[in-house]
Amino acid sequence: MFDFTLEQLQRSIREQQVRDSYYYRNAVENADLSLAEKIFNDELEDDSTPDWNFMNEWSWKDNTFLDGIGHVSVEQDHGGGEGDGEERWVVIRVENSEGTRYFRIDGYYMSYDGSHFDGELREVSVVERLVKFYE
């Protein structure tokens, strides 16, 4: 199961975004499955990469299962608020029976316009560092 590529991860996240969209959920709730399928396919045809700028609205950000990928959740959400500066990034954790992998997307924050993720999603490793403080 851990043999997924970065592109497959991004596609699975995008598919989940479409399933979370108001129009798709509304079509499913009204039992209009042909419309739901059309919305799903049209959205993915237009753009199969996730819209990182709406990450805070994702229903799955705490933990969800993506077929062929595993359990996906937000491990670290850095920056993105008043007083945090311009630096912004999010680390996504993917867990399954094979282990755990981490992916990071970078961006920036602007007080008048919010968070923007313009970096490339990339795989990262957990690194522990010794830090000295002088108080």
Tell me how many domains the chain contains.
1
What's the gap between Cα 61 and its chain centre? Answer: 7
Residue 16 lies in a domain: yes
Q: What is the pLDDT of residue 68?
A: 85
Rounded Cα distance, 115 and 38, in Å: 30
* pLDDT value of position 56: 58
Secondary structure of 33-68 in HEC code, one letter for each residue: HHHHHHHHHHHHHHCCCCCHHHHHHCCCCCCEEECC
Q: Is residue 118 part of a domain?
A: yes
pTM: 0.76
Question: Would 92 be classed as within a structural domain?
Answer: yes
Query: Does residue 131 belong to any structural domain of this protein?
Result: no
70: domain range?
6-50+59-124
Structural domain includes residue 70: yes
91 inside domain: yes
Exposure of 39 by Cβ count < 10 A (0-12 exposed, 13-18 middle, 19+ buried)? buried
Q: Is residue 100 part of a domain?
A: yes
The one-digit pLDDT tens for each residue of the chain (135 residues) are 468 888 888 888 888 888 887 888 888 888 888 888 888 888 777 666 676 666 655 655 677 888 888 888 888 888 776 665 688 888 989 998 889 999 998 888 877 777 777 878 899 999 999 999 999
Domain assignment of residue 133, yes or no: no
